[in-house]
Chains A and B, each alone.
Chain A
Amino acid sequence: QVQLVQSGAEVKKPGASVKVSCKASGYTFTSYGISWVRQAPGQGLEWMGWISAYNGNTNYAQKLQGRVTMTTDTSTSTAYMELRSLRSDDTAVYYCAREVGSGSVWFDPWGQGTLVTVSS
């Protein structure tokens, strides 16, 4: 079955960086894009950006431009999201999700989520 498995929880200090991994299985990795979505405690879903697993093209949310980098390793079917210069308001659960659809795009399935806590 199609599955995305993410790396474990992280605790970081303000100003540090975090890199979250998302390992895909059950489908041809390069045939779909991956989006990253985060959810602050008690809040809604926030789209962070996407990466094409086919050619590595990316599109980042403007508010994260300059701090986020999304990459893929096709040899291991793994996507990565790195966020730098962490602040307390980056504390959130970070999800990866496979992009599906052509004209429109939806997300299915999602990874289990990775809690990133930013605290001094």
Chain B
Amino acid sequence: SYVLTQPPSVSVAPGKTARITCGGNNIGSKSVHWYQQKPGQAPVLVVYDDSDRPSGIPERFSGSNSGNTATLTISRVEAGDEADYYCQVWDSSSDHPGVFGGGTKLTVL
């Protein structure tokens, strides 16, 4: 089945820009979705279809996808953005279509 690779951790100072990557074979040909999960809470969708934001998600959250890497970018990082972030694709040609990356812990310094 399709494999998504994320860095285990990313650290950023408040007010700076955080970039969380998600690697996969020719991932640019797929739609990538991103979730934020805070401790003890269910995941929340923050970006879908590579770069679209659900209502209620701040414009500080954006996404891009090309080649073998998709990226979630969080601008003007706040303390409240500290969380685990997961990328996800739907591999419809596979018998295991739901695929998540291993997750990235974002630490706000």
- Interface of A toward B, CB cutoff 8 Å: 35, 37, 44-47, 49-50, 59, 61-62, 95, 97, 100-101, 103-113
Contact = CB atoms under 8 A, between A and B. Distances in A.
A106 B86 contact: no
B61 interface: no
Contact of A47 (B31, B45, B96): B96
B98 A111 contact: no
Nearest to B98: A47
Contact of B42 (A35, A59, A62, A113): A113
Interface in B54-109: 54, 86, 88-90, 92, 95-103
Taking residues whose C-beta sits less than 8 angstroms from the other chain, chain B's interface range is 20 to 34
A108 B45 CA distance: 6
B104 to A, nearest CB: 10
A106 B97 contact: no
Interface of B: 30-31, 33, 35, 42-45, 48-49, 54, 86, 88-90, 92, 95-103
Contacts of B44: 109-110
A57 to B, nearest CB: 13
User: What are the nearest 7 A-B pairs in CB distance?
Assistant: A47-B98, A104-B31, A106-B33, A105-B90, A110-B42, A108-B45, A45-B100
Contact of B100 (A46, A100, A101): A46
Contacts of B98: 35, 37, 47, 49-50, 61, 105
A81 to B, nearest CB: 14
Given A47-B99, A59-B97, A61-B96, A104 B49 contact: yes
Nearest to A4: B42
Contacts of B43: 45, 95, 97, 107, 110
19 contacts: A37-B98, A45-B43, A47-B100, A50-B98, A59-B97, A62-B95, A62-B96, A95-B42, A95-B43, A101-B48, A103-B92, A104-B33, A104-B49, A104-B92, A106-B31, A107-B33, A107-B43, A108-B48, A109-B42
